[in-house]
Amino acid sequence: MPKGTPPADFDYALILRNLPSLPGVYRYFDAAGHCLYVGKARDLKKRVSSYFQKSDLSPRIALMISQVEKLETTVTRSEAEALLLEHNLIKSLKPKYNIVFRDDKTYPYLRIGSEAYPRISFYRGGVDRRSTYFGPFPNSGAVRQSIAVLQKVFQLRTCEETNFRNRSRPCLLGQIGRCSAPCVGAVSEEEYAQDVRRAKRFLSGDGGELMSELESQMAAAASELRFEDAARLRDKLAALSTVLEGQTIETTGGDVDADIIAVAVDRGRACVNLAMVRGGRHLGDRAFFPSHEKEAAPEDAPDILEAFVSHHYEGLPVPTVVVTADARDPAALSELLSEIAGRRVPVVGEPQGARRRWLEMAQAGAKIALESHIAVELGEKSRLQELVDALGIRPESGRLEDFRAECFDISHTAGEATIASCVVFRNFRMDSSEYRRFNIDDVTPGDDYAAMKEVITRRYSAVARGRSPMPTVVFIDGGRGQVEMAREVFDSLGLDTSHIVGVAKGEGRKVGLETLVFPRDQHREPLVLGPQSPALMLVAEIRDEAHRFAITGMRARRAKPRSRSRLEDFEGVGPKRRARLLARFGGMKGLRNASVEEIESVEGISKTLAEKIYLQLHGEASA
């Protein structure tokens, strides 16, 4: 069968004859019922036909078509509706051949509040109607830079409401002229509101008109002998003039809001670089790296752009104009964006003047970001390959991309607030979306072996029942004892113990001196990779992340409100005495059941202190 030809029993000619020439979404499935691809079309018949009637398909698409056994379509009212449905189906079906942009944190905004003296602040999250939002910005640095400009020119406050309402003198920003100090009445509510209105106009791109207005107001104040007002306006003019001069080279020459999108493809990897212009000011670039089953080719750039559009403009405002040279059909993309925005959104495919320069800069930025990404990825692959070779443990598929490691650590304070952490390494990076913490309450305080047994049991019972996949490697932060505890759990669950690897600390707990320990039933000697080993550095990175995640969880748990009967609140009971008491009686319940004489028998506890502890425990209980 020629590459790109559908299976013989897939009668695509009959299917194509029955497809409507309407907008909608199509889905390809293989013989096992797995979704291969989800796409959207303005004309389903025309779009789906192109897959089976063209001979110049990209290798990725040709390979996909050779596996198609079933086609499903859904008709929608518009191409914009199809775009949204396509995006949702990609999320739910996880098709093999789609180009997918990983969900990232939300875009930051600059927020101007609705208080009597509105506050300007960095904001990320859902918006409300009371406040005014400007953005989105490509990164947090761009927001903070804009806030600094507003402080310098319009002297708006940035302090939290609690600080604002409880100040008796200006803060440092007020003292150095970066805030008009409304907290102490240094500016009237009307004057401050006027500065807020000016700031909003500046952020909306009216900097030039604002300059002219301030000049007229300054002249009028001077002619009316209001020299203090004229001086304040003069200072604002000077600051605004300096800012606008610095931004002269940053404007797109008339575009108030614009997105410039460039796609770069090299060595099977792709990058989408987005340059954002808001209020006539260039806010910076942001690079996106889609994931896909097969290597990308330069001819995939239009598909990558379409995938990005469906991902990026979901729930985000569409700018005034989009500039890109990678659209398959700029007019069709313009029609689609216009329908999403509810207004006309031109897509410029062959820009001139300032827009052309911006597109060239965005294209150069995409290439640079992609080169850097590939270099990092190659480095990550190299050290992961070395680790796989050293351990002799490989993913079932044999592909490094499918390598998954889970690492466990235990953290507590003298046996209290015990937390177990599980961090995940996959796709050549730490994946915080899959991290988990476990509260450990049903073991003797300070018994790390029992705590490890509990967390391993809780995590891998789901694996034994077939509800969760087995990771390639299970790292245990600890030596032989913790590893054997994990082995016992795996044996009881009927799991393969060859996945377990202990990370024993070296002398002085120095990174690079760790020893990798294996379960006894694997009959493997401990492995010392050496301080110069990239593989060991990867293991140390994963282990340290598990340690950090466990400690932060333990501290958060300890910070929660606790009853007065906790030993930390007992006068005269320090960490050492607390540890001895908990070790002797197995926890607070055992301590409450102890007599004064039993408490006194613990090393370091005098009769007087034992009586105090007993009274505090039982006095509170009777109360």
Q: Per-residue pLDDT for 565 more than 60?
A: no
In this structure, how many other beta carbons lie within 10 angstroms of the beta carbon of residue 499? 21
Q: What is the mean pLDDT of residues 570-582?
A: 80
Percent of the chain with pLDDT over 70: 88
Least confident of 124-138, 210-224, 289-303: 210-224
Looking at residue 592, which CATH number applies to its domain? 1.10.150.20
**pLDDT for the residue 1:** 40
Euclidean distance between CA atoms 237 and 154, whole angstroms: 10
Q: What is the mean pLDDT of residues 302-314?
A: 85
Euclidean distance between CA atoms 207 and 210, whole angstroms: 5
Is the omega angle on the peptide bond into residue 182 within 30 degrees of 0, that is, cis?
Answer: no
Q: What is the mean pLDDT of residues 291-308?
A: 81
**pLDDT for the residue 408:** 94
Q: Per-residue pLDDT for 321 more than 60?
A: yes
Whether residues 406 and 548 share a domain: the answer is yes
Looking at residue 545, which CATH number applies to its domain? 3.30.420.340
Q: Of 204 and 505, which is predicted with more confidence?
A: 505
**pLDDT for the residue 375:** 83
**pLDDT for the residue 421:** 92
Q: Per-residue pLDDT for 538 more than 50?
A: yes
DSSP 303-361: HHHHHHHHHHTTTS---SEEEES--S-HHHHHHHHHHHHTS---EESS--HHHHHHHHH
Q: Per-residue pLDDT for 622 more than 50?
A: no
Whether residues 35 and 17 share a domain: the answer is yes
Q: Per-residue pLDDT for 163 more than 90?
A: no
Q: How confident is the model at residue 172 (pLDDT cuts 50, 70, 90)?
A: confident
Whether residues 345 and 405 share a domain: the answer is no
How is residue 135 written in tokens? 């953005």
**pLDDT for the residue 621:** 41
Q: Is residue 378 part of a domain?
A: no
Q: Per-residue pLDDT for 511 more than 80?
A: no
Whether residues 488 and 590 share a domain: the answer is no
Q: Per-residue pLDDT for 246 more than 50?
A: no
Q: Is residue 2 part of a domain?
A: no
β pairing state of 258-266 and 321-324:
parallel
Q: Of 181 and 12, which is predicted with more confidence?
A: 181
Q: Per-residue pLDDT for 332 more than 60?
A: yes
**pLDDT for the residue 459:** 92
Q: Per-residue pLDDT for 198 more than 60?
A: yes
Taking only the tens place, the pLDDT of each residue in 52-62 is 776 667 777 78
Q: What is the mean pLDDT of residues 185-204?
A: 85
* Domain-terminating residue out of 534, 559, 584: 559
* Domain-terminating residue out of 42, 61, 93: 93
Q: Which of 290, 304, 285, 307 is nearest to 362 (CA)?
A: 285
Whether residues 551 and 433 share a domain: the answer is yes
Q: What is the mean pLDDT of residues 315-323?
A: 86
Q: What is the mean pLDDT of residues 139-147?
A: 83
Q: What is the mean pLDDT of residues 73-95?
A: 84
Q: Of 277 and 241, which is predicted with more confidence?
A: 277
Whether residues 487 and 546 share a domain: the answer is yes
Least confident of 45-49, 200-204, 265-269: 200-204
Q: Per-residue pLDDT for 489 more than 80?
A: yes
- Structural domains in the chain (count): 5
Q: Of 493 and 137, which is predicted with more confidence?
A: 493
Q: Per-residue pLDDT for 251 more than 60?
A: no
Q: Of 441 and 599, which is predicted with more confidence?
A: 599
* Domain-terminating residue out of 504, 529, 559: 559
Q: Of 428 and 508, which is predicted with more confidence?
A: 428
**pLDDT for the residue 128:** 72
Whether residues 444 and 475 share a domain: the answer is yes
Q: Is residue 448 part of a domain?
A: yes
Whether residues 151 and 294 share a domain: the answer is no
Whether residues 37 and 167 share a domain: the answer is no
Looking at residue 74, which CATH number applies to its domain? 3.40.1440.10
Q: What is the mean pLDDT of residues 173-181?
A: 85
**pLDDT for the residue 7:** 59
Q: Per-residue pLDDT for 620 more than 50?
A: no
Query: Among all chains, which residue has been given the structure tokens 């024993």?
Result: 504
Percent of the chain with pLDDT over 90: 21
Q: Is residue 1 part of a domain?
A: no
Q: How confident is the model at residue 240 (pLDDT cuts 50, 70, 90)?
A: low
Whether residues 413 and 546 share a domain: the answer is yes
**pLDDT for the residue 294:** 64
| C-alpha dist (Å) from residue 412 to 55, 128, 553 | 64, 41, 10
In this structure, how many other beta carbons lie within 10 angstroms of the beta carbon of residue 523? 7
Mean pLDDT across the chain, nearest whole number?
82
Q: How confident is the model at residue 248 (pLDDT cuts 50, 70, 90)?
A: very low
Whether residues 439 and 349 share a domain: the answer is no
**pLDDT for the residue 590:** 79
Q: Is residue 210 part of a domain?
A: yes
Cα three-residue angle 220-225-231, rounded to 5 degrees:
75
Least confident of 177-186, 225-234, 356-365, 366-375: 225-234
Return the exposure string of 49-77: e unless at least 16 CB atoms fall within 10 Å of the residue's CB, then b: bebbeeeebbebbbbbbebbbebebeebe
Q: Best-predicted range by mean pLDDT among 62-66, 139-143, 257-261, 563-567?
A: 257-261
Q: Is residue 394 part of a domain?
A: no
**pLDDT for the residue 509:** 65
Q: Is the backbone of residue 22 left (phi > 0), alpha (psi -120 to 50) or beta?
A: beta
Whether residues 123 and 228 share a domain: the answer is yes
Which residues span the domain enclosing 471?
400-559
Q: Is residue 389 part of a domain?
A: no
Q: Per-residue pLDDT for 213 more than 80?
A: no
> Which helix or strand (DSSP H or E) is residue 85 part of?
helix 79-93
**pLDDT for the residue 143:** 84
Least confident of 43-57, 180-194, 555-569: 555-569
Q: Is residue 503 part of a domain?
A: yes
